[in-house]
A and B are shown apart, each in its own frame.
Chain A
Amino acid sequence: MRSLYDRLVSTWIGSLFLRPIESVYTHLRQNLLFQILVVAVVPTLFMGIGVYYQFRNILEQGLNNQLTWQIVYTQKSLDNFLEEHMAALSLVFESYPIEQFKDQKGIQHIFTELNKRFPNFVDLGLVDSTGIQKTYDGPYSLELLKKNYSNEPWFQEVLVRNRFISDVFLGNQNIPHVSMVIKSQTFGKGEFWVIRANVNTSDLDKMVSAINLGSEDDAFVINRECILQNTSRFHGGILSRHCMPMHETAQNVMWTEGKNAKNEDAIIAYTSLHNKDWTLTFVQPLSERYKFFSPVHRIMIGVMISGFVFVFMFAWLITRNFAVQRRQAEQEKEAFLHTAEQTEKLASIGRLAAGVAHEINNPLAIINEDAGLMSDLTEISDDFPNKKKFEDLLRSIQSSVKRCRTITHRLLGFARQMDVSPEAIDINALIKEVFGFLEREAVNRNIHFTFNLMESLPIIESDRGQLQQVFLNIINNAMDAVDDKGEIGISTGHKNGSAVEVKIRDNGCGIPKGKLKRIFDPFFTTKARDKGTGLGLSITYGIIKKLGGRISADSELDKGTTFIIELPRSYK
């Protein structure tokens, strides 16, 4: 009997509820997590990158401004250097009468005076309009006297411009020099004088290095022909040739991109001097720039990563909570639907069973009467061969009919409506009735049942079919919990005078403390997957609640479990 009921119900429930629910929620959660992360991370990433570039631009601007300022400052120093020496020479030329220049002693005096204030002047000479050196004071006195300069480019140049500053050349002791030349006014007959002085330009290096240079940066001065006018760090020594991509002249500081001496990508800043066709050039490889930005990189990346970690953790928590809640809600919903469906199903099974029972009852009645008549006739007959045997067989037929009748009547009992249909119930009798369903299995497995039923137990008003289901579920569980030869005790009694209390105790495996709280939850089961649906006790719980009663369980691991059911005397 147990198997009919159980097999039908559990097969049906199994098909509905044993699909992999876990994976559905894992999938849902992963989807959600992914979406949240995309929504949170992508804008953050864009914003981070935007902020980073903005910030970098500002920094770069700052850096460029600083460099521009330093370059302009250096340009001014260089211009000043040239200008003040030129001005000094010009002043001297105009201050002293030309006769004093013509005289060797006179020019020595003038140079001495000049050199006192401007030590970078290394010599001073006077050249006539034909280009012949007239007088000279300086380290080359002997060679230079009477020398003809008429074909020198500077002489040609000064004829046109009156003033001239040469490019750097290496003079005495390989010291870099420039020549400064000034032409006097033209006197009658096209006669004029030219003074020429060489200036030590070693100070150029010092001035250029006023630009604050990083370890890979370089700055130098070049002329139009790409000849370096001072010694650079990486781009060659003085008078070596190194062309940079730049415009001819630049009034302000110009920026461009190119390669440095090591052929690395570099930023190039340059500006022209005012007093000479030289260009002050600053070269900074991009790698040097990045060194400057690297702390910014580190901060940005750190902020971004910690932001992502934070977002991820939050998303993880949120989705976990969401999935758990969603799952609970759906479980509740499914459990509800399930209970409803199961009730309907049980009613259908009941109707089917009732139909079968009814149809069987009639032929059964014929068998019963026929066998009865045979038995009656045998009894009144005289002794005949095998009479005893006949009597035994007839008794056997009749007892089999009795067994069949028990079954059909029980099926009819089960067919009762699943709605609460209150009727007067003797709980003791009901328990015995339910036990009848399970008796065979109990005998097979040698499980010993003890009943301690209170005789004066009040009759209660409740639903017979549903109470049968409740006790069937709980006694079934008890039988699953005990080993063969286990003990199950059922007792009934009063509770607070008004309620009836039933205790069902087994000496089985027990339920751990942690799980005891959850046994009435839908889908919670300790049985093997194909054996328990985790619904039996939740249905039981639902029924008892509906009938206005209470159910609770006590358990001790390996000692057994006791279910206590309280039922009110009347329903509602």
Chain B
Amino acid sequence: MKKMKVLLVDDEIEFVTTLSNRLGMRGIKTDVVHDGEQALEYVKKDEPDVMVLDLKMPGMYGMEVLRQLSKTNPNIQVVILTGHGTDRDEDESKRLKAFDYLRKPTDIDTLADRIQGAYSFKMESIMTAATFAEAGEFDTAREIAKESESPKTVGEMFKDEEKK
């Protein structure tokens, strides 16, 4: 299995740096960006598996980032981590298929756990699709792939499988 890539998006530099350190100590390597635009830039270059996203940030709001990702990169599992969230935000993020919604301050172990969970969920979806693909049921595989990731990534996935 390839190594999990996690992106932390938060404007509170002190917070996000410390968080990144602590996650690193727990075996989760993370990259850090400080606003929505940077996050989208990053995603274009190197798509992460899991994104931990703050909502209230200068410039582009977290919710807007999530909305764009749900169209362009639906296979990124997003965990919202915010101190400002309202019920409406929570409902909206669930509608946009965010993996989870956490409120600051949160326990580090809980967060680590959710990041792992998000990654596993993504992998399981892809694996399911791959299994169907192996069995020749490409239609089903395509449907599952459509639900969880872009066709291009599914293609890559098949290539990876073939290499093995």
Chain A residues at the B interface, C-beta cutoff of 8 Å: 354, 358, 360-362, 364-370, 372-373, 376, 380, 401, 405, 409, 412, 415-416
Contacts and interface: CB of A to CB of B under 8 A. Distances in A.
13 contacts: A358-B83, A358-B84, A361-B104, A362-B83, A364-B104, A366-B12, A368-B106, A369-B15, A369-B18, A369-B105, A370-B18, A376-B22, A415-B86
Given A365-B105, A369-B105, A370-B14, 7 more contacts: A358-B83, A361-B83, A365-B15, A366-B18, A368-B104, A409-B103, A415-B86
Nearest to B21: A373
B35 to A, nearest CB: 15
B60 interface: no
B19 interface: yes
B22 A365 contact: no
Interface residues of B, number: 17
A354 B108 CA distance: 24
B143 interface: no
A405 B102 CA distance: 12
Contacts of A370: 14, 18
Contacts of A367: 105
A376 B21 CA distance: 10
B87 A362 contact: no
Contact of B22 (A358, A362, A369, A415): A369
Contacts of A364: 83, 104-105
B101 to A, nearest CB: 13
B108 A369 contact: yes
A376 B25 contact: yes
A373 B103 CA distance: 19
Given A366-B14, A372-B108, A361 B19 contact: no
A209 B103 CA distance: 123
Interface in B78-94: 83-84, 86-87
A377 to B, nearest CB: 8
Contacts of B25: 376, 380
Interface string B43-87: 000000000000000000000000000000000000000011011
Contacts of A362: 12, 15, 83, 104
B108 A361 contact: no
Contacts of B83: 358, 360-362, 364-365
Contact of B103 (A361, A366, A372, A401): A361
A370 B15 CA distance: 7
A367 B87 CA distance: 25
Contacts of B84: 358, 361
A249 B47 CA distance: 145
Interface string B103-130: 1111010000000000000000000000
A393 to B, nearest CB: 18
Contacts of A405: 103, 105
Interface in B3-50: 12, 14-15, 18-19, 21-22, 25
A362 B105 CA distance: 7
A401 B104 CA distance: 10
A376 B22 CA distance: 7
A416 B87 contact: yes
A103 to B, nearest CB: 156
B112 to A, nearest CB: 11
B86 A354 contact: yes
Contact of B12 (A365, A380, A401): A365
A182 B12 CA distance: 154
- What 10 A-B pairs are tightest by C-beta distance, nearest first? A361-B83, A368-B105, A365-B104, A365-B105, A369-B18, A362-B83, A366-B15, A358-B84, A364-B105, A361-B104
A361 B105 contact: yes
Contacts of A373: 18, 21-22
B16 to A, nearest CB: 9
B107 to A, nearest CB: 8
B109 to A, nearest CB: 10
Most buried by A among B12, B19, B104: B104
Contacts of B21: 373
Nearest to B17: A369
Contacts of B12: 362, 365-366
A212 to B, nearest CB: 107
B95 to A, nearest CB: 16
A153 B19 CA distance: 157
A362 B108 CA distance: 15
A369 B10 CA distance: 13
A415 B106 CA distance: 20
Contacts of A409: 103
Most buried by B among A360, A365, A373, A405: A365
Contacts of B105: 361, 364-365, 367-369, 401, 405
B48 to A, nearest CB: 20
A365 B14 CA distance: 10
Nearest to B84: A358
Nearest to A405: B105
Contacts of B108: 369, 372
A395 to B, nearest CB: 13
Contacts of A412: 86
Contacts of B18: 366, 369-370, 372-373
A520 B34 CA distance: 55
Contacts of A415: 86
Contacts of A401: 105
Contacts of B103: 361, 405, 409
A365 B52 CA distance: 14
A368 B109 CA distance: 12
Nearest to B81: A365
Contacts of B86: 354, 412, 415
Nearest to A380: B25
Nearest to A355: B84
A353 to B, nearest CB: 12
Contacts of A354: 86
Nearest to B18: A369
B105 to A, nearest CB: 4
A376 B103 CA distance: 22
Nearest to A423: B87
Contacts of A358: 83-84
